[in-house]
Amino acid sequence: MTTPTHWTTVDSPFGELLLTADPSGTLTSLSVPGQKGGRTVRDGWLHDPGLFREAEEQLAAYFAGELKEFRLPAHTDGTTFRQRVWAALDSLPYGATTTYGEIAARIGAPRAAVRAVGGAIGANPLLILRPCHRVIGADGALTGYAGGLDRKVRLLTLEGVLSTARR
């Protein structure tokens, strides 16, 4: 028997966010509207807004510039390689950026693994919460973001990485 998926939506400056969790409230995904590879509500999922109150409060505080680190239980499925990349993302501090090559080096992967690192980052099921928006190109370019480059710019501006003039 499969574990039921619980879900809710949360309003944000980026539109309505879709959050999913297991029955204990451990988050399994956060998707933004129009996200490449984002989740959509499926038959059999249980709408349960109460399960997500803490996530909703922390997201609101983050968007208000009052929260710099999420403290929410989360679990995502992925290959061992993806889990290593995601753990490296989880350790990126608010207001900092890194590159795909730096992530590869951090997890002990060869330089040639940069594309695979990019694939793992692009498959991140916890947008915003797991800060893949903090990964930029080696030349400083704001490279792809599953939630769209405009959202990446807005998140990095919120965190003080970019000035509003660059938007």
φ/ψ of 74, rounded to 5, equals -145, 150
Query: E-assigned strands of the chain?
Result: 6-10, 17-21, 27-31, 46-47, 98-99, 135-136
Q: By the 8 A CB rule, do 7 and 18 touch?
A: yes
> Which positions are annotated as active-site residues?
132
Rg over alpha carbons for the chain, rounded to the nearest Å, is 16
CB neighbours of residue 139 within 10 Å:
7
